[in-house]
């Protein structure tokens, strides 16, 4: 999972450049920008552990910066293995196949 360690810095720089472009050019609505950012950050997987928590926090900070409300992320804790976390992983995998809508919906439920 994630990119090779030597690619992390390059991929993060690319992601941040993309997000800057999306924001400046209003490529997507604010929620979608934050969720696409979250998904790519999880995919880069810069840490051995805590990547989902880090990416959710970063997405929450980004959406607040863009004038929106923090996400609810399914309305529960995703740290525990269970149905909610399984649903989160499923929508992340769906986003891997370029369908971001289920992840966006999950983040707002």
**Span 5-107 CATH architecture:** Orthogonal Bundle (1.10)
pLDDT (tens digit, 9 = 90+) per residue, 12-29?
A: 999 999 999 999 999 999
Question: DSSP of the chain, one letter per residue?
Answer: ----GGGHHHHHHHHHHHHHHHHHHT-S-HHHHHHHHHHHHHHH--SSS-HHHHHHHHHHHHHHHTT-PPP-GGGS-SSS-SHHHHHHHHHHHHHHTT--HHHHHHHT-
At residue 80, the pLDDT reads 78
pLDDT (tens digit, 9 = 90+) per residue, 36-83?
A: 999 999 999 999 999 999 999 999 999 999 999 999 999 988 877 799
Query: Taking the domains of the chain in order of start, what are their residue ranges?
Result: 5-107
At residue 79, the pLDDT reads 77
pLDDT score of 30 more than 80? yes
At 1, the pLDDT band (50, 70, 90 cuts) reads confident
């Amino acid at each position: 999972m994630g990119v090779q360690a030597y690619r992390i810095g390059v991929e993060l720089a690319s992601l941040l450049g993309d997000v800057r472009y999306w924001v400046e050019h209003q490529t997507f609505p604010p929620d979608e920008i934050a969720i696409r950012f979250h998904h790519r950050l999880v995919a880069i997987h810069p840490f051995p552990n805590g990547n989902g928590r880090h990416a959710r926090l970063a997405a929450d900070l980004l959406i607040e910066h863009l004038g929106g409300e923090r996400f609810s992320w399914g309305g529960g804790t995703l740290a525990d293995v269970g149905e909610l976390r399984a649903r989160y992983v499923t929508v992340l995998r769906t986003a891997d196949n370029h369908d971001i809508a289920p992840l966006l919906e999950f983040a707002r439920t």
